[in-house]
Structure 1
């Protein structure tokens, strides 16, 4: 399998939360905690919005909570404080979070064969720290957070490294991951959540976790 993956693929791009690290629910609970004073109904709405809108930068997500769920005018100072509060609460927890099953084995087996990248909606400097603290940095050619968008970062990597889109796979768990792959004509493999759900169109190739990824990539 190792040789076949290397022959087939120039690169594999990974999202982080819910793909390499089992941190989606952790982040959802952290968002909900920021709104504890708003009551349980608002918190449930926050959790649902987070679950249905993975891959969105946290500042944009918090702004949408304020506008779409709470129906109030956006206060940039308040938004700044909430972004800072979220970051302070979540970074150490993500560093300590369990992996998605199969992540460590896949990275150990395939690092450099083909080239591996992370593109995450997590702020860039924070994503670099998390990857370093989790001992993952040396498995990847480079690690990227936001901004810019995932599609913009993927396009930059394709140009910088001379990658062929038909030989690049994007592995993600969110609509934004699928959209980035589709916009650039990359192959896509979705990762389902613990309940077997995913947000992708019918017929999208998905896996339960990264133990199934080599076999999935071999079918493309």
Structure 2
């Protein structure tokens, strides 16, 4: 169920695929960062990334090195993979499309607190949103990894920073699971999602889906 926008006291946005058209940037960066291990392993990492949207790069590279890369294979370390990934992604985040209508929606909800809760690196997010002059929209804060979305939501709710009723706007299975675990309403934003099974998932879980912003 989704309520009227005037009823919500808090809106929580995922970043990639919801506020920014950046999912494709992340996918390409995972592939290129892992390519020193060979194309097959780079493709395997991309598959894992797409099937686990919303989870941090730290966990994805940990999984890659511990479960996908054969023992004894030579290639970049975890720190080198993370550094290369960040370098590949950063400039793209400064220029990719922002979801249309964000400023207008904010103006129409003057009493609603907005937050970003993302699987992306928190420091990187705050830098990008600052440079793109998006940070003032999210007066509740901009939060990301290495903390998980579950950890962020639990912490910010305990601090009184997330006030109910609250709505999470996300584009992945994990976004929905995190919202459900926290007792938040949820809308699936589908225009930029890389979750190929989103239609079936939303139907089976009775989730409202919208191409972009829900109002």
One fold, TM greater than 0.5? yes
Report the Cα offset of residue 157 of structure 1.
Answer: 2.1
Match of 1:187 in 2: 185
Change (3 A) 1:51 1:104: farther
Change (3 A) 1:113 1:197: farther
Specify which of 129, 134, 146 is matched with residue 131 of structure 1.
Answer: 129
Change (3 A) 1:42 1:171: same
Give matches, 1:1-220, under 5 Å.
Answer: 5-6=5-6, 8-72=7-71, 78-110=77-109, 112-141=110-139, 142-161=141-160, 163-165=162-164, 167-194=165-192, 197-199=196-198, 200-201=201-202, 202=204, 203-210=206-213, 213-214=214-215
Change (3 A) 1:115 1:198: farther
TM-score computed with the length of structure 2 as normaliser:
0.84
Change (3 A) 1:44 1:162: closer
Q: Quote the Cα distance in structure 1 between the aligned partners of 2:63 and 2:161.
A: 37
For structure 1, list consecutive stretches of 5 or more residues without a partner in the other structure: 215-220
Q: Quote the Cα distance in structure 1 between the aligned partners of 2:183 and 2:113.
A: 18
Q: Quote the Cα distance in structure 2 between the aligned partners of 1:74 and 1:62.
A: 15
Q: Quote the Cα distance in structure 1 between the aligned partners of 2:161 and 2:211.
A: 31
Q: Is the Cα–Cα contact under 8 Å of residues 128 and 143 in structure 1 kept in the other structure?
A: yes
Q: Quote the Cα distance in structure 1 between the aligned partners of 2:26 and 2:106.
A: 24
Q: Quote the Cα distance in structure 1 between the aligned partners of 2:98 and 2:186.
A: 21
For structure 2, list consecutive stretches of 5 or more residues without a partner in the other structure: none
Q: Quote the Cα distance in structure 2 between the aligned partners of 1:10 and 1:105.
A: 17
Bigger helix fraction: 1
Q: Is the Cα–Cα contact under 8 Å of residues 66 and 74 in structure 1 kept in the other structure?
A: no
Report the Cα offset of residue 113 of structure 1.
Answer: 3.2
Deviates more, 1:189-198 or 1:175-184: 189-198
Change (3 A) 1:35 1:156: closer
Change (3 A) 1:162 1:127: closer
Once superposed, what is the RMSD of the aligned Cα atoms?
A: 2.5
Q: Quote the Cα distance in structure 1 between the aligned partners of 2:100 and 2:46.
A: 23
Q: Is the Cα–Cα contact under 8 Å of residues 192 and 198 in structure 1 kept in the other structure?
A: no
